[in-house]
Every structure is written in structure tokens, then in C-alpha cells.
Amino acid sequence: MSKNAKHIILNLVTAVAVTLFFSCGDNSGAIQKFNQRNDGPSAEGEGVVLKYTDSGKVVATLRTPLIMEYGLADFPYEEFPDGVEVTFIDDDEKENYITSDYAIRYKRTNLIDLRQNVVLITSDSTRLDASQLFWDQKNKWVFTDKPYTLKFPDDSFNNGDLFDSSEDFKNFISLDNQSRMYVKESATATPNDSVQ
């Protein structure tokens, strides 16, 4: 092999090595993600109890037989295929309960999608039954676009196809509903048929 050919090969190898050296950046995150499975859950747990806090105070406790975490997904979420039991504590330290046969919690938005036999019972015994319920933990709001039944402690009720409400049902909007509500008259009201 001629001296010129050796020189050309040496320069070519040097050029390739330099190109490879400068093209290698900090790709450790991409390499780590590549090495991990992303077609299934990144973690699973059985018999799990999760506590959610706000400013050091426990605001909710979630119990589930099985949690599957998809933390590597583009929109990370936790799946509860065997259902959940959630106890959340309101600002007055009163406990409210939600159960469902299936749930998903979207980690970035703190939105929980509860499905199948959803039951919510508030501290004053108001009961909501629905096939699906979304719970916005951050804004303390619940809503659904599915049929529901809402029963109040005084035997009032509201059945409809959609509602949007605060967790305590004090701000409540519903659509296509039937309801029966009881209104108490105040003791100081003047009867309409009295003679003055």
C-alpha cells in the first residue's frame, strides 16, 4: 500500500472519530428512556394506600388493590383497574367518600376519571351514583356528562344527564334533570292568607 493511500485512510479514520466525538452530546435521558419499557407500566403495586397532601395537611387517602403507573408515557398517568376507595377531607375537617370499580389519575392535571359504579357520599350524607365521574382535585370540583342520581339527606333528589359542581354540591349546575326539592319556610314569614 502506498504512503499516499495510508495517509488518506488515516485522515478518513480521524475525521470519522472527530465527527463521532463532537456529535455525542448529553443524551443520558434519551438513553435511559430508550432502555426502559414504554409499552407497559413502569411500576405496579398491590394493596396500595396513597395519601395526598396540601401544605403538609392530608387532604385525601386513596386505597386500591392494584395500581399501574405509566410514568414514561407522554401524558403520565396511574391506572387503578380493580377500583379505588377515596376518602377526602374538606376544609371543615369532614370526611367524604368516593368508590368506583375503575379509575385513572392523570398526574400533570390531578384529574381523576372514576368509572363503573361510582358512588360519592359527602359528610352530610348526600349521595351521588353515576357511571362516570371526573374529580378535579386541584379545583375541588366534580363533573360528569353521564346520567346520574343525587339524593340529599332530606329525601330531595336530582336525576339528570350532566352536572358540574363543587365537591360540597353548594354550587351545582345540571342539565335535563328531574328533581324534587324541599324548601323550609322561615318562622318569621307572614302567611299569604292572613289579614293585617
Q: What is the pLDDT of residue 174?
A: 74
Please state the φ and ψ torsions of residue 34, each to the nearest 5 degrees: -65, -40
Least confident of 1-15, 89-103, 104-118, 140-154: 1-15
Please state the φ and ψ torsions of residue 72, each to the nearest 5 degrees: -95, -5
Which tens digits make up the pLDDT trace of 28-54?
A: 555 555 555 556 788 888 898 988 787
Domain boundaries, the chain: 41-180
Which tens digits make up the pLDDT trace of 1-23?
A: 666 656 566 556 565 555 555 55
CA distances (Å), origin 122, targets 136, 156, 178: 16, 15, 21
**Does residue 25 register a pLDDT over 70?**
no
Topology, domain 41-180: lipopolysaccharide transport protein A fold (2.60.450)
